[in-house]
C-alpha cells in the first residue's frame, strides 16, 4: 500500500509537535490525515495552515477532549460512522497542570489528558476493526519515565504501597493517577509518573492487539516549541523554556526542534518488529539524540505494568480489550496471572 492510500490520525494536531507531525505526514504523501483537537475550529485551522503550505492531503477534523471518557467515546463514534481504517495512530496530546486539577471522574488532569482519552479511542477503534491489519500505534512518551531526569524522580511504589495501601500495588497506582498519593502534588512528578504509565500501557497493549499490529511509546525528546509549558509556573515558562530553546540550550543538548520530535513518531513505522511494545527515548540521562530502547527494572516490572493497565481501564470507564495477539502471548499472559 502506498502512503497515498493510507490514513493517519494525530491527536493534539493543532500546535507544536502535533502540527509538525501532521505536516510531515502530509509531506510524505499520506492520503488522509485526521486532526484531533479540543475544538473543531482548531482542527479546521490546522487543515487551512497545511493547505497554505501546499500540502494536498485529505484533511478530516475531529474534536476530542482527551481528559474525558465521554468526549473520547463521542469522537470514537464519529470515526466509527466514517468507517475509515487507520494505518498510523499517533497519540500525541497531553498537558501538565501546575496545580492538582481533576477531570469529571476524579482523575488528575495530567494523567487523564495523557492516557484516558487515548485509551478509550484506541480500544474503540480496535473493537470496531478500524485499525488496519498492520497499523502502528504510537503514544507520546518522555525521558522522565526513565527516572534519571533531574527534578523528575519516580517514587518508590513498593515502599509507599507497603506503608499506605496494605501492599496493594493496584490501589497505589490508582492513588497516584487520581492525585491522592501521600506525597505532596508536584506537576513534574505527576508528569513523570503519567509517562511511566504510558510506557507500561504500550507494553501491555502490544500483547493484546492482533498479530501484525504494533504499539510503541516514543518520546519526542525535549522540545520547547510546544504548549507543554502553558500551565507551568512563571519561572518554568519565562526562564527554563526560553533557556532550553536558546542557542546555548541546544548546544548543551537540552532541546531539539519540533521537526525532530515529529520525525521520531513517524519513524515508528520503520522500527524492527521485535521491538513491538517497547519504549524509545534519548540515551540515558540525555533529552536529545538518537532514540533507543529504554530498559529499567521499573519499566520491565510486568506485575506493575499489568496493575497499571487495570488502573487505566478502571479510570477510562472500564473499557478493555481482551483479544490476545497470538497463542504465544495469550499463554504468556496466563502464566503471569497464575504466577
Q: What confidence tier does 255 reach under pLDDT thresholds 50, 70, 90?
A: low
What integer pLDDT is reported at residue 98 of this predicted model? 85
Q: Where are the alpha helices (DSSP H) in 114-268?
A: 117-127, 157-164, 169-178, 187-206, 234-235, 241-245, 247-251, 258-266
Q: With 60 as the cut, is the pLDDT of residue 190 above it?
A: yes
pLDDT (tens digit per residue) in 79-97:
999 999 999 999 999 998 8
Average pLDDT, the chain: 88
Q: With 80 as the cut, is the pLDDT of residue 176 above it?
A: yes
**Domain ranges across the chain:** 64-221+256-338
Q: What confidence tier does 225 reach under pLDDT thresholds 50, 70, 90?
A: low
| Mean pLDDT in residue range 112-124 | 98
Angle, CA 264 vertex, CA 258 and CA 266 arms, to 5°: 105
Question: 3.90.550.10, 3.40.120.10, 3.40.50.720, 3.40.50.150: which CATH number matches 64-221+256-338?
Answer: 3.40.50.720
Q: What count of other Cβ atoms lies within 10 Å of the Cβ of residue 313?
A: 16
pLDDT (tens digit per residue) in 27-86:
999 999 999 999 999 999 999 999 999 998 999 999 999 999 999 999 999 999 999 999
- CB-CB contact of 223 with 256 (8 Å): yes
Amino acid at each position: 500500500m502506498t502512503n497515498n492510500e493510507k490514513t493517519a490520525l494525530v491527536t493534539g494536531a493543532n500546535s507544536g509537535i502535533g502540527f509538525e507531525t501532521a505536516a510531515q505526514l502530509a509531506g510524505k504523501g499520506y492520503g488522509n490525515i485526521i486532526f484531533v483537537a479540543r475544538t473543531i475550529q482548531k482542527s479546521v485551522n490546522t487543515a487551512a495552515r497545511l493547505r497554505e503550505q501546499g500540502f494536498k492531503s485529505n484533511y478530516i477534523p475531529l474534536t476530542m477532549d482527551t481528559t474525558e471518557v465521554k468526549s473520547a467515546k463521542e469522537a470514537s463514534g464519529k470515526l466509527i460512522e466514517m468507517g475509515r481504517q487507520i494505518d498510523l495512530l499517533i497519540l500525541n496530546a497531553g498537558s501538565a497542570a501546575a496545580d492538582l486539577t481533576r477531570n469529571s471522574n476524579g482523575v488528575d488532569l495530567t494523567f487523564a489528558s495523557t492516557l484516558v482519552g487515548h485509551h478509550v479511542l484506541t480500544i474503540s477503534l480496535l473493537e470496531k476493526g478500524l485499525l488496519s491489519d498492520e497499523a502502528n500505534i504510537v503514544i507520546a512518551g518522555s525521558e522522565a519515565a526513565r527516572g534519571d531526569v533531574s527534578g523528575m524522580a519516580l517514587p518508590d511504589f513498593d515502599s509507599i504501597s507497603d506503608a499506605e495501601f496494605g501492599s496493594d500495588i493496584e490501589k497505589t497506582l490508582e492513588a497516584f493517577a487520581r492525585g491522592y498519593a501521600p506525597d505532596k502534588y508536584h506537576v513534574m512528578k505527576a508528569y513523570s509518573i503519567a509517562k511511566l504509565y504510558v510506557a507500561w500501557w504500550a507494553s501491555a497493549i502490544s500483547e493484546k492487539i492482533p498479530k501484525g499490529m504494533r504499539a510503541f511509546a516514543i518520546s519526542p525528546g525535549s522540545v520547547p516549541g510546544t504548549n507543554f509549558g502553558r500551565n507551568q509556573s512563571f519561572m518554568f515558562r519565562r526562564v527554563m523554556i526560553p533557556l532550553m530553546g536558546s542557542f546555548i540550550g541546544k548546544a548543551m543538548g537540552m532541546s531539539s526542534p519540533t521537526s525532530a520530535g515529529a520525525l521520531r513518531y513517524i519513524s515508528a513505522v520503520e522500527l524492527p518488529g521485535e521491538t513491538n511494545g517497547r519504549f524509545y527515548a534519548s540515551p540515558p540521562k540525555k533529552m536529545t539524540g538518537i532514540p533507543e530502547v529504554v530498559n529499567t527494572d521499573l519499566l520491565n516490572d510486568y506485575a506493575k505494568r499489568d496493575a497499571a493497565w487495570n488502573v487505566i481501564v478502571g479510570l477510562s470507564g472500564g473499557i478493555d480489550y481482551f483479544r490476545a495477539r497470538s497463542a504465544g502471548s495469550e499463554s504468556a499472559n496466563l502464566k503471569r496471572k497464575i504466577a
